[in-house]
Amino acid sequence: MKIVIVGGGSVGYYLAKTLMEHNHEPSIIEKTQTVCTRLADELDIPVIQGDGTTIEGLRDAGCDRADALVAVTGRDEENLIACQLAKLEFHVHRTVAKANNPKNASVMSSLGVDITVSSIDFISRMIEREVDISTIKHVVSLNQGKASISEILLPDDFKYSGRQLADIRLPEQSVIVMVERGGEAIVPRGSTHIYSGDKLLIVAKDEALHAVKEKLKLTD
């Protein structure tokens, strides 16, 4: 996907790196020239010096071709305006805004932003989702970013290999909705056995994701 990031601070920088690792095509629009120079030196992506709250700036960043826009500046009003312009002027399918003040999150959502997260929530979710990219992969956000669907690859030394799902009690606010084995999709029941090498599709609230990894022994 082509994704425009408004704001070249630390969140925008690490978000761009994560998106690149997932084979997406991010670009960054940032006001400050020195920040743009540093980003251009460190990231092999388009970096545009401009204003993400203007139609001209968003067009220069490729918003007219973007599948999504993520606004992560330090000012909530700028993040809101960038998302609104992306929707109204460029018909971007998905917008995400960082709410530096968590009290603004619900207001931003009511004004048309698809997903609004506070900076603390945003960073913690990135950490939870990207700690071990080889075993857990974020697929899609749900419920305004408060939950997600994740794909988990069970390792070779999976502790519960050969056990029934009924014997593995996942944390509350999480559920396995599909098991993929050898290219075959299995709709699981309590009697379904899971094995090393299986891929699990799990729906979980974000606060439960770490507990899921701990339960399945996906962390050291």
pTM of the predicted structure, to 2 decimals: 0.60
Structure confidence by residue, pLDDT tens digits, 76-126: 999 999 999 999 999 998 999 999 888 898 899 999 998 888 755 554 455
Instruction: Give dist(CA 193, CA 133) in Å, integer.
Output: 24
Backbone phi, psi, residue 15, to 5° = -65, -45
Distance, C-alpha 119 to centroid of its chain: 13
Domains of the chain: 2-125 (3.40.50.720), 132-215 (3.30.70.1450)
Structure confidence by residue, pLDDT tens digits, 48-73: 999 999 999 999 999 999 999 999 99
Other beta carbons less than 10 A from residue 65's beta carbon: 13
